[in-house]
Structure 1
Amino acid sequence: MDTKQIDLNELTTAQLEAMLAEKKKAEKVAKIAARKEYENQRDELIEQLVARAKVLNDQMRDFKQYAIDKLEDFRITANDYGDIRKNSKGGFSLRHNLTGEMVSLDRNSVPEYDERAASAEELLKEFLEDKVKKRDLADYRTLMALMERNKQGDLTPSRIALLLKVKDNYDDPRWAKAMELFEESFRIREISYSVSFFRKDKMQKDQAIVLTFASIPVTFFRDEVITKVEENGA
């Protein structure tokens, strides 16, 4: 097809400005269309991935609940046959007799004290200031140190346990009531449950069956591209 050649020198300034404006308008329209196409592709990709992620999330949640329920149901039987350690804090592991496969239930918990511990502190500090500080400064400092709170502002269970070991050392009502409140206010708060699965590898070592999305090994597309570029350049 023949294209008509335009001699720009023959055009007036107004004509040139009109042509430039038309070109800018066409470029803007094309840019908007390209942007819209990109956004459509982007949104479609996100919708597809999020939809699949939601399906997997539902499956993972259901499986986690199923696994925890089955293991909790089996806990008494496992305990009767000595499969749960006596010093277990709630979690336990079960291993297959032949394959060596293992399932582990972990309970994440936090020891803490409720509001009664604050009342115990007040009573104990009052008693120590009134009866112990002048008579035995070393004991006073030791007992006060056991009530020091950590950086998070919480009492330290191991220190309070040491305090309770000497609960019979004084017969003052304030001391006795403080010890009682410390014992009553202590509790274990469950934070979360987790279940882990393992199989034996060729070296007969436990190999975790990874269910954490970020930890699952995959082939990284960008690595493939970089490798191919390096091979082509060699």
Structure 2
Amino acid sequence: MANQDATHPGYWKDARGNLIPESNVKDVDKLRDELVREQIGKAKKLSEEIARFKGCAMGDIEAFIKLSADKYDAKVGGKKGNVTMFSYDGQYKVIRQVAEHMTFDERLQAAKALIDECLREWTEDGRDEVKTIINDAFQVDQEGKINVGRILGLRRLEITDPRWLKAMQAISDSLQVVGSKPYVRFYERQADDSYTPIPLDIASI
């Protein structure tokens, strides 16, 4: 569909919202517009098809999990949990993963205050490497979000200061699961017995 304004026949709308007489639009711009819209239309249809495929795949996997559990009179609750299934000959495998989205509540501020106390005291001891690791962990990204993995990584530091240990407990207590997102991935076995993903991301094909 050409980029013509429905309320102003004979005009095209440019990127700034201005109405341009069709006679002033270059032929090459019209052809480019046609190409882009055609490809976007195809991409949207493909995206919808992939979404339907994912929904069907997730439903089929969940149904099979329940069917398998029924064989042992076991009840499987919810859709949480990672599952790997193989074809009988091991040539293919399907993995369902549920990634949890985690964040911290206000108790993270208490943890940071305790850590800052330690850092002020450690300044005299010259523990610059530890201070760098800690400060980097509390940096936010461009969206203003804290990297959960970096914060949790602080718990691996072997520091026995009571304030530090209390801060680590505050970090653990402040961790909250705010949502989850299911993924399904497909793999094919290669000659060396490794499994290569079957790409569904257009950028990886």
**TM interval, short-chain normalised:** 0.5 to 0.7
2:88 maps to which of 64, 74, 97: 97
Contact 2:119–2:131 at 8 Å: present in 1 too?
no
**Larger of the two Rg values belongs to structure:** 1
Q: Please give the secondary structure, in 1, of the residue aligned with 2:55.
A: helix
Using the alignment, how far apart are the partners of 1:151 and 1:176 within structure 2?
A: 17
- Equivalent residue for 2:170? 181
Shift of 1:109: 4.9
> Are 1:209 and 2:204 counterparts?
no
120 and 147 in structure 1: CA distance in 2 versus 1, 3 angstrom threshold: farther
Cα deviation 1:119-141 (Å, max 9, x = unaligned): 23324655x599xx59xx87xx6
**1:104·1:196 contact (CA, 8 Å) conserved in 2?**
yes
User: 1:73 Cα shift?
Assistant: 5.2
Tell me, which stretches of 5 or more residues in structure 1 are unaligned?
1-31, 82-88, 217-234
Amino acid at match of 1:148: I
- The alignment partner of 2:135 has SS state of coil
Q: Are 1:47 and 2:37 counterparts?
A: yes
Q: Which aligned pairs between 1:1-234 and structure 2 lie closer than 5 A?
A: 35-36=26-27, 38-72=28-62, 74=64, 77=68, 90-98=81-89, 100-109=91-100, 112-123=103-114, 125-126=116-117, 148-150=134-136, 153=139, 154=146, 156-160=151-155, 178=167, 180-188=169-177, 192-201=181-190, 205-216=194-205
Change (3 A) 1:70 1:190: farther
Inter-CA distance 35–111: structure 2 relative to 1 (3 Å threshold): closer
Sequence identity of aligned pairs in percent?
23
Unaligned runs of 5+ in 2: 1-22, 73-79, 140-145
- Quick one: which amino acid aligns to residue 95 of structure 2? S
Q: Hey, what does 2:4 align to over in structure 1? A: none
TM-score relative to the length of structure 1: 0.48
Aligned residues: 163
Confirm or deny: 8 A CA contact 1:91 1:106 kept in the other structure: yes
Q: 1:161 Cα deviation (Å)? A: 5.3
Higher helix share: 1
Answer yes or no: is the 8 Å Cα contact 2:138–2:151 preserved in 1: no
CA separation of 1:210/1:200 partners in 2, compared to 1, >3 Å: closer, same or farther? same
Residues of 1 paired with 2:177 and 2:55: CA distance?
21
Contact 1:121 1:147 (8 Å CA) reproduced: no
Bigger strand share: 2
Alpha-carbon spacing, 1:201–1:213, altered in 2? closer, same or farther (3 Å)? same
| Aligned AA (1:101) | Y
Residue identity matched to 2:84 = S
TM-score by length of 2: 0.53
Per-residue CA shift, 1:82-114, capped at 9, x if unaligned?
Answer: xxxxxxx95342111225211123444565433
